[in-house]
């Protein structure tokens, strides 16, 4: 069998890439380490030089995903400046774009059942991504009186949950039909939420 993706000295990444393909095809629990090894073009025994088991392999795929995700969110946030609103909305769009472009990483991050606290490196990457959205939420809500201002962590969690819902229901070909594009659903949902907080003017 040809060695798909494996090059001498890069076995670890070849296994991660194989796992990402299998996650997309079969889900995070639908493949074995032996299958990942076969796709990478190596023996099953070679996997254990780098990973103790399938969950460790998926956790590393998730860590890489969160690093990419955080970079994309930060780029979107910075590109949306100097308007706090534009920066905040850009992070929501970046979430949707990431899920559609990197489904294997997205599933490993959010649907594999792997805790973000499994390793310090995974936790740090996840917290960095979360921090970008919290920063955007804090900047957007600065002018709300402190006694009426929602915590940035709650504010960002609401938007994260809304973004995740749009992705799961309408953006990943799960069979749910929508009369509107996912991008429009997310934008209108964020708009309704922000109007409820008094952060943008009614239409």
Phi, psi angle pair for 202, to nearest 5°:
-65, 150
What is the pTM (predicted TM-score) of this model?
0.84
Q: What pLDDT does residue 9 have?
A: 60
Nearest to 189 by CA among 169, 164, 159: 159
Domains of the chain, CATH where assigned: 1-51 (1.10.10.60), 53-196 (1.10.357.10)
pLDDT along the chain (203 residues), means of 10: 52 92 92 89 85 91 95 86 78 87 94 93 94 86 82 87 86 66 86 80 60
SS3 (DSSP) at 32: coil
SS3 (DSSP) at 119: coil
Q: What pLDDT does residue 35 have?
A: 92
Q: What pLDDT does residue 65 have?
A: 96
Q: What pLDDT does residue 203 have?
A: 55
Give the angle subtended at the CA of 150 by the CAs of 148 and 152, to the nearest 5°: 145
């Amino acid at each position: 069998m040809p060695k798909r993706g494996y090059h001498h000295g890069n076995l670890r990444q070849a296994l991660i890439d194989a796992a990402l393909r299998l996650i997309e095809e079969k889900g995070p629990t639908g493949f074995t380490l032996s299958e990942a090894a076969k796709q990478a073009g190596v023996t099953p025994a070679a996997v254990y030089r780098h990973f103790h088991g399938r969950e460790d392999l998926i956790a590393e795929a998730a860590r890489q995903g969160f690093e990419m995700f955080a970079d994309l969110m930060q780029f979107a946030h910075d590109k949306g400046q100097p308007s706090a609103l534009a920066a905040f909305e850009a992070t929501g769009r970046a979430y949707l774009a990431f899920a559609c472009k990197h489904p294997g990483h997205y599933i490993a991050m959010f649907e594999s059942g792997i805790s973000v606290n499994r390793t310090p490196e995974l936790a740090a990457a996840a917290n960095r991504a979360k921090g970008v959205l919290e920063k955007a939420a804090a900047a957007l809500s600065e002018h709300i009186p402190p006694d009426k201002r929602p915590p940035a962590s709650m504010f960002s969690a609401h938007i994260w949950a809304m973004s995740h819902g749009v992705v799961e229901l309408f953006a990943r070909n799960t069979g749910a039909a929508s009369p509107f594009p996912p991008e429009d659903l997310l934008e209108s949902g964020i708009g309704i939420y922000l109007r409820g907080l008094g952060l943008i003017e009614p239409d």
